[in-house]
Structure 1
Amino acid sequence: MQATADTVVSIDYTLTDNDGQVIDTSEGREPLAYLHGHGNIIPGLEKALEGKAEGDELQVKVQPEEGYGPHRQELVQQVSMEAFAGMDKVEPGMKFNAESAQGPLVVTVTRIEGEQVTIDANHDLAGKELNFDVTIRDIREASDAEKESGQVAD
């Protein structure tokens, strides 16, 4: 069987940056199972897996446009420390849930200068090339319920 629309594909993977630093891996865990053709994984990886079979091993370099998108400067802004009223401390690297006109999002504090806090709503991997080492462990037909929901059943 091949990875095509409406199949459940289970993969072992290791994701690294261009310096070889491991960002994420399934090592030591169950394989990642996703419903192929439903946008459950980043587009570049899903495209690379299309038509592949159980047991196939591949290395995939995904460009930002087919990963988490380019880094968008308009998602970086400065806010007053007053926006964090009630917090014991605020420091770079901290993540907060925020509301925007497009709905909820996660922002990361990147810098603090006096009473000005720089926050970034870009995904942590936006603008980065992603390197995947993947082994396809299993492929099966999705159930009707999985196809309807667009998600793999637990």
Structure 2
Amino acid sequence: MQTVKTGDTVRVHYHGRLTNGSTFDSSEGRDPLEFQVGAGMVIKGFDSGVLEMQVGDKKTVQIPVDQAYGPKNDELIMEFPKANIPPDLKPEVGMELQMSNAQGQVFPVKVAAVGNESVTLDANHPLAGEELIFDIELVEIV
């Protein structure tokens, strides 16, 4: 029976959770995720986790921070003056916003803290610094 190797296009169902057991993503109720193994379309640990699987195989993969979204980067946490926030926007901790850099690229940020004069914004990926666990089922090698 054929096993997954680098370069194959595969279709998988998955359930992703944190080490505390909370679910952050799942393909349940959706089409399987399709990606080319080794092409950088998914995080490294997920990519390598499907290698050697056969159609119908199910496995659980524990992915360390450096094979997932990496550690939190303190350089992506910034103080932003409240005076530069539109007056109709009332920032609250946990609120997700969009910012743009000098080149016009838009990126998401999350409000980490709200002070009197400034707001602390975090541009890290929401799963940065987290070890991830995926239950993976190989549906098809395309």
- TM-score using structure 2 length: 0.90
Corresponding residue for residue 136 of structure 1: 138
| AA partner of residue 25 (structure 2) | D
Unaligned runs of 5+ in 1: 141-154
Cα distance change of structure 1 residues 87 and 3 upon mapping to structure 2, 3 Å threshold: farther
Measure how far apart 1:86 and its partner are: 4.3
CA distance in 2, matches of 1:88, 1:81: 10
Deviations 1:81-136 (A, max 9, x none): 12212443221222222223684321111110112100001000000000001110
The amino acid of 2:101's aligned partner reads S
Question: What is the aligned partner in structure 2 of residue 37 from structure 1?
Answer: 38
Aligned to 2:17: 16
Higher helix share: 1
Distance verdict in 2 for CA 1:91–1:54, change over 3 Å: same
Match of 2:107 in 1: 105
Task: Specify the alignment match of 1:66 in structure 2.
Answer: 67
Q: Which amino acid aligns with 1:43?
A: K
Output the TM-score relative to the length of structure 1.
Answer: 0.84
Cα RMSD between the aligned structures?
1.6
Once the two structures are overlaid, the 10-residue window that deviates more, 55-64 or 85-94, is 85-94
- Equivalent pairs: percent with the same residue? 32
Partner amino acid for 1:129?
Answer: E
Query: Is residue 26 from structure 1 mapped to residue 23 from structure 2 by the alignment?
Result: no
The whole-number CA distance in structure 2 between the counterparts of 1:132 and 1:111 is 31
Aligned length: 140
Cα deviations by residue, 1:42-69 (Å, 9 ceiling, x for unpaired) = 0011112112211111111111111011
Written as runs of structure 1 = structure 2, the 5 A alignment for 1:80-95 is: 80-95=81-96
Deviates more, 1:67-76 or 1:94-103: 94-103
What is the CA–CA distance in structure 2 between the aligned matches of 1:128 and 1:101, rounded to whole Å? 30
